[in-house]
Amino acid sequence: MQFLIFLSLDQPIFAKQMNKVPKLLHIDTTGETAMIGLSIQDQIIVEVSNQVSQQHASFVQSSIQTICKEHSFDLNQLDGIVITLGPGSYTGMRVGLASAKGIAYALDKPLIGLSSLALLAKAANKQIDKTSTSYRLFSMIDARRMEVFGSIYDCNEQALTEEQAIVLDTPYLTELVKKGKIYCVGSGASKIGQILVDEQIQVLDCHYSVVEMLEMGMNKWEKQQFEDLAYIGPTYIKDVYTIPSKQSK
C-alpha cells in the first residue's frame, strides 16, 4: 500500500522556494516501510511511503515519476540525492542504492549516504526528556534470533561504537546498564525485555522519517560530505549468505 503526503503550499511560495538550494531527493528502502521524499532547503515538499516490502523495487521509480509529475519537477533541478545505506534488508538496501547511484551518475549530482542506525538515534532523541544528559541511545535492527545490527550513541547522537552485529544476552545487557541509562530503539529493541528487565533500560517505540533524513542530509550537505559513486555500497554488516541450489552441486 502506498501513501502520498503533500504539503499545502500556495503556488507563489512554492515557486519562490524552487529558486533556492539545495533541492534534495531522499530514498530509503532499507526497512519494511520504504520512503521517497523531495525537499527544498529545509522543507519537505512531498513524501511517499510504501509498506509492502516486496514492492520496494517498483515503488522507487514509480514514486519518483509521480512526484516529478505532480509537482512539475524536473530531476535536473536536483542538487543532490540522499540515500539510506543500511543496515537493514539486504534486498532493500541494494534496490535503493542502485536507484540513487543511477540518478546521481546520470545527472552528475552528489550522493549523500546515511546510516539507518544513526537516523533511529536521531528520531529517538526527540522523544527523550532533555533534563538529563547522562544517557545513551542504542539503535538496533533485527537480524533474526537474538542477534541485531546495532550501534550505541551518546545524548548528542555521536557514535560511541561501530555499527556491528551484536548477540543480545544477559551478560552483554548487564554490562550496558552498569554505565547508566540507555534507551533502545529499532526493530530489534523488543528483544530486550525477553532478556533483562532493568530500570536503566527503556525501549522506545519510534521510527525515523524523511524529516530525520532531511536533517542529517542537510548537515552533510553543508559539510560537503559526499559519497564516492565508484566505491559506495550498502552497509551489510555481515556477508550475505545464500543456500546453494541442488543444481550447483
239: pLDDT confidence band, cut at 50, 70 and 90? low
Per-residue pLDDT reduced to its tens digit, 52-63: 877 888 899 999
**C-beta of residue 172 within 8 angstroms of C-beta of residue 188:** no
Distance (Å, rounded) from C-alpha 88 to C-alpha 31? 6
Distance (Å, rounded) from C-alpha 136 to C-alpha 153? 6
Q: Which of 203, 208, 27, 183 is nearest to 122 (CA)?
A: 208
Q: What is the pTM of this model?
A: 0.87
Distance (Å, rounded) from C-alpha 46 to C-alpha 4? 8
Q: Nearest 5 degrees, angle CA 76-CA 82-CA 227?
A: 95
Phi first, then psi: give them for residue 223, nearest 5 degrees. Answer: -90, 0
Set of cell numbers at residue 214? 532531511
Choices 3.30.70.2740, 3.40.50.10860, 2.60.34.10, 3.30.420.40: CATH for 2-115+208-248: 3.30.420.40
Mean pLDDT of the chain: 88
Distance (Å, rounded) from C-alpha 220 to C-alpha 22? 12
Q: Which of 183, 171, 168 is nearest to 136 (CA)?
A: 183
Amino acid at residue number 241: Y
Per-residue pLDDT reduced to its tens digit, 130-176: 777 789 999 999 998 999 999 999 999 999 999 999 999 999 999 99
Write down the CATH number for the domain with range 127-204: 3.30.420
Are 2-115+208-248 and 127-204 equal in CATH topology?
A: yes
Portion of the chain with pLDDT greater than 90, in percent: 79
With H, G, I as helix, E, B as strand and everything else as coil, classify residue 179. coil
CB atoms within 10 A of CB 54: 9
Maximum separation of any 2 CA atoms in the chain, in Å: 65
Set of cell numbers at residue 166? 551484536
> Could you state, in order of their start, the residue ranges of all structural domains in the chain?
2-115+208-248, 127-204
